[in-house]
DNA sequence: ACAAGTACTTACCCTTAAGTAAGCAAGCGT
DNA sequence: ACGCTTGCTTACTTAAGGGTAAGTACTTGT
């Protein structure tokens, strides 16, 4: 059950991080936010294959994990921007290291 | 379907890496292998909650992705060791960076 | 009065990942 | 002859993640 998952996160710091930034959509969302704050509709347009359900679900999770801040202007139509929190900023180097390795390997695969 | 997954991996290098080292068990297996080559039964004992099915399945996937090498001695009972390949070695710094951030954040959560 | 835009929410289904449990091969010690 | 060990494999079941499609609130423009 979830018991094993909890145990893994305590025993393996890499698992802990994967739970925060892993999965199908979170890397893509974070990658988009790395180029600066974006509003909801911008993210939606930037990631055409994502459904609204997945987008909002993962944005909420990223917020709950303290990686992303949400700021809503009380106007109509709504204006909501998402951006890295301070804690989120601290993971950018890690994401860049991952992306760098990924890009190198991707190139190596395609020679 | 898988089409979207393929697309993501091309569009987002972080997703590409997550596909190689993400998921529930792969981080834990890799973390164990970082302390040196291990035989199948050692891994099994080091990760008590993993099932043999999952262990072998992910070891095979890691092999297929070229991150892990398998070496079998033709003896009985079988003697099989798993270790990082050359390509696998190149991801160790990334895994360490992930683990370091994870450990820091884990501490921050528990103050 | 009504369509359009923005940021969601909800209910339902379907595919993928993971867990359960059993079996197999091949020799070695007793 | 029999059980033991090691490294797997297979069939079946269950839980999780993701996709589809519809609806909501609130206001501006026509």
Share of chain B above pLDDT 70, in %: 88
Domains of chain B: 2-109 (1.10.10.10)
Across B4-24, average pLDDT: 81
Query: pLDDT tens across B25-65, in order?
Result: 999 999 999 999 999 999 999 999 999 999 999 999 999 99
- Residue B78 has φ and ψ, to the nearest 5°, of -55, 150
CA distance linking residue A21 with residue A15, whole number of Å: 10
Please tell me whether any atom of strand C lies within 7 Å of the Cβ of A93.
no
| Residues from chain B contacting residue A1 (CB–CB below 8 Å) | none
Q: Give strand D nucleotides closer than 7 A to any protein Cβ.
A: 5-11, 15-23, 25-28
**In this structure, is the CB of residue A97 within 7 Å of any atom belonging to strand C?**
no
Q: Integer distance in angstroms from CA B111 to C1' C15?
A: 40
- CB spacing of A14 vs B102 below 8 angstroms: yes
User: What are the backbone angles phi and psi of residue B49, rounded to the nearest 5°?
Assistant: -85, -5
Q: How far is B69 from chain A (nearest CA, A)?
A: 17
> What pLDDT is stored for residue B9 in this prediction?
64
Query: Between the CA of A78 and the C1' of C4, what is the distance in angstroms?
Result: 14
Contact B106 A4 (CB under 8 A): no
pLDDT at site B2: 52
Buried b (16+ CB within 10 A) or exposed e, B100-109: ebbeebeeee
Q: What pLDDT digit, counting tens, does each position of A76-96 carry?
A: 899 999 999 999 999 999 999
Q: Determine whether the interchain pair B101/A91 forms a contact, defined as Cβ–Cβ distance below 8 Å.
A: yes
Cα angle A8, A12, A17 (rounded to 5 degrees) comes to 95
Helix (H) or strand (E) run with residue B79 in it: strand B79-84
């Amino acid at each position: 059950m979830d018991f094993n998952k909890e145990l893994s996160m305590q025993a393996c710091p890499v698992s802990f991080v994967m739970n925060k930034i892993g999965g199908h959509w979170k890397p893509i969302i974070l990658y988009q936010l790395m180029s600066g704050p974006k509003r909801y509709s911008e993210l939606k347009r930037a990631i055409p294959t994502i459904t609204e359900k997945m987008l909002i679900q993962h944005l909420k999770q990223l917020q709950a994990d303290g990686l992303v801040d949400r700021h809503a202007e009380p106007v109509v139509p709504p204006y909501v921007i998402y951006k890295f929190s301070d804690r989120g900023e601290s993971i950018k180097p890690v994401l860049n290291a991952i992306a760098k390795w990924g890009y190198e390997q991707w190139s190596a695969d395609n020679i």
